[in-house]
Amino acid sequence: MTDIQVWTLVFVLLTFGAYIYIAYASRVSTTSGFYVAGGGIPASANGAAIAADWMSAASFISMAGIVAFSSNGYAGSVYLMGWTGGYVLLALLLAPYLRKFGKYTIPDFVGDRYSESARMVAVVAAIVISFVYVAGQMSGVGVVFQRFLGVDAVQGVMIGMAIVFFYAVLGGMKGITWTQVAQYSVLIVAYLIPVVAISVKLTGMPVPQIGFGEILTQLDGLQQDLGFAAYTTAFTQETMLNMVLITAALMFGTAGLPHVIVRFYTARSVRAARFSALWALFFISLLYTSAPAIGAFSKLNFIDQIDGAAIGQTPGWFNTWADVGLITGTGGGAIEDLNGNGAIDYNGEASNEILVNNDIIVLAAPEIAGLPAPVVGLVAAGALAAALSTASGLLLVISSAVANDVYYKKINPQATEARQLLVGRIAMAGAIIIAGYLGINPPGFVAQVVALAFGLACASFFPVLVLGIFWKKTTAAGATAGLAAGLGTTLLYMVWTIDIYGNSDGIFSIPETGFGTIGMLINLVVTVVVSKFTKEPSPVMQELVEEIRYPGKTRLVAAHAEGHIEDVLPSEGSGPSAEGPAKP
């Protein structure tokens, strides 16, 4: 074993041991504990859990590389702004109101506010979006085990599955939340230590967010010399319109993702839901403002060490990543000395000889900067924490959609608490096995689909949720039509622009990742127009929507949470109808 492997093993064993201990200490015995941790999580802990839930293998492993290597630098800003700006929307437009509404899942809100058919559409959307995501997390776990511990990727995925199985099945949302708090701590320390160390090494400034500025002029110059666009120059890859559309799709998509929204149900009160959003974005911003810095530092180091390096004299980290196929020649195969000058050429011109996978930048950064082995091991443990925490949050969405929205609401409404909990645990176990399978055999399109999932969430959930809260007269027919129109047009556009149909430029060159914004506008217009022409919601429903605007205990919301809203206004109806309890 190398030093790096020993240190990786030490950190992985320590962190996994901690997760197992926490899970055992916070095991649950109620459905409320299983789905929403009994609604009793303090805001700062909930914020850390949301941050860990949100920051996936993609944020931890890939984002810095996407910003610095697959874009010129500026173009990657869409991810930085898009994946954080969505939290402002969540905090102001959704979190407090959904928390007041109560219940467990997004389909719960959609079903109770609109109709049973809308609930089923929401269940399907939530499950599809979550599985797409979770496949990427599991394969990320495999990559880390393979690269740092020399374990076979399949075994790596299985180890990850076993850990998640233990704490998710046992502890449900409560186990997941407290484990995520620990995972956030691990991942942020693992991310910040190398960034700070590299910043000090390159600029003498321990705050990477400031040190970053000192190398930009140099990096701009280097990139231009090598035939790349300058690092800070705008619109070299995407037009202004596309930057706006993609950023908006990521922002509104973030605010429509079920595994994020559901976290606000775990808060103690409306006030705690607001504070959770604040803590969450604060914790996320620590990583998101560091990511562009580590990307830029690594780009500088990479160009410095690799361009012009004699073949056979390349640094050790370069050779290790080339061995696992994540640094390759331009054809995707072995690195070749195309122009026969005996050295590696890395540039933005025809003479370029290497391709760098985005996923290695953060993992390789400590080695590129020559930091000691413990730091490398810590980064590996951090990447595992990021992947596992997101995977468990997504798995909970899947199991609660199956057990609560399908089994309890549709198949067996008389199910006892113990029975529901059992179904939830079985659904969780099943979801973990499917996720593990997808992680071992990832469908080739996972990476693209993850990006597209935001467009779909943006075009489907976001308008339906916001209108459902802010416009009392949104009708079930309006929401269903809007949902179908937004989701339908966005899906069609995404399929239509796939290369095989030869329409890859799309309409007005709008990229498929940005079309979600258009889909959202279509959804909005259709929902409003159809709602105008259909019978407005019942007075009880309108009053219920009115009540979720005000924190504190209110009559209808309390009755709704206890499932007997029809008792409050007996003249309004007689028992639950097929359209849900609140629509007599």
Residue 234 found at the interface with other proteins (CB under 8 A): yes
Contact 250, 90 (CB under 8 A): no
Min separation Cβ 562 and other proteins, Å: 5
Residue 462 found at the interface with other proteins (CB under 8 A): no
Min separation Cβ 318 and other proteins, Å: 27
Residue 103 found at the interface with other proteins (CB under 8 A): yes
Looking at the Cβ atoms of 4 and 548, the one nearer to other proteins is: 548
Phi, psi of 578 (to 5 degrees): -65, -20
Looking at the Cβ atoms of 52 and 141, the one nearer to other proteins is: 52
| DSSP states of 464-499 | HHHHHHH-TT--HHHHHHHHHHHHHHHHHHHHHTSG
Residue 539 found at the interface with other proteins (CB under 8 A): no
Residue 206 found at the interface with other proteins (CB under 8 A): no
Contacts of other proteins in 307-336 (CB under 8 A) = none
Distance, in Å, from the CA atom of 94 to the CA atom of 469, rounded to the nearest integer, reads 8
Contact 37, 396 (CB under 8 A): no
Looking at the Cβ atoms of 12 and 548, the one nearer to other proteins is: 548
Residue 27 found at the interface with other proteins (CB under 8 A): no
Contacts of other proteins in 65-84 (CB under 8 A) = 67, 73-74, 77, 80-81, 84
Its sign, for the CA torsion 196, 197, 199, 205, is positive
Looking at the Cβ atoms of 16 and 34, the one nearer to other proteins is: 34
Looking at the Cβ atoms of 295 and 436, the one nearer to other proteins is: 295
Contacts of other proteins in 551-580 (CB under 8 A) = 551-553, 558, 561-563
Distance, in Å, from the CA atom of 82 to the CA atom of 254, rounded to the nearest integer, reads 8
Structure tokens at 519: 């889909």
Neighbours of 319 (CB within 10 A): 12
Query: Contacting other proteins (CB under 8 A), which of 94, 129, 243, 510?
Result: 243
Report, in angstroms and rounded to the nearest whole number, the Rg of the chain calculated over CA atoms. 25
* Interacting span for other proteins (CB under 8 A) from 205-213, 298-306, 423-431, 514-522: 205-213
Contact 226, 346 (CB under 8 A): yes
Annotate 151-173 with three-state secondary structure.
Answer: CCHHHHHHHHHHHHHHHHHHHHH
Min separation Cβ 557 and other proteins, Å: 9
Distance, in Å, from the CA atom of 70 to the CA atom of 74, rounded to the nearest integer, reads 11
Min separation Cβ 84 and other proteins, Å: 5
Residue 210 found at the interface with other proteins (CB under 8 A): yes
Burial environment of residue 499 by CB neighbours within 10 A (0 to 12, 13 to 18, 19 or more): exposed
Its sign, for the CA torsion 369, 375, 377, 379, is negative
Contacts with other proteins by CB under 8 A lie at: 32, 36, 38-40, 67, 73-74, 77, 80-81, 84-85, 87-88, 91-93, 96, 102-104, 209-210, 212-217, 232-235, 240, 243-244, 247-248, 251, 268-271, 274-275, 277-278, 281-282, 285, 288-289, 292, 546, 549-553, 558, 561-563
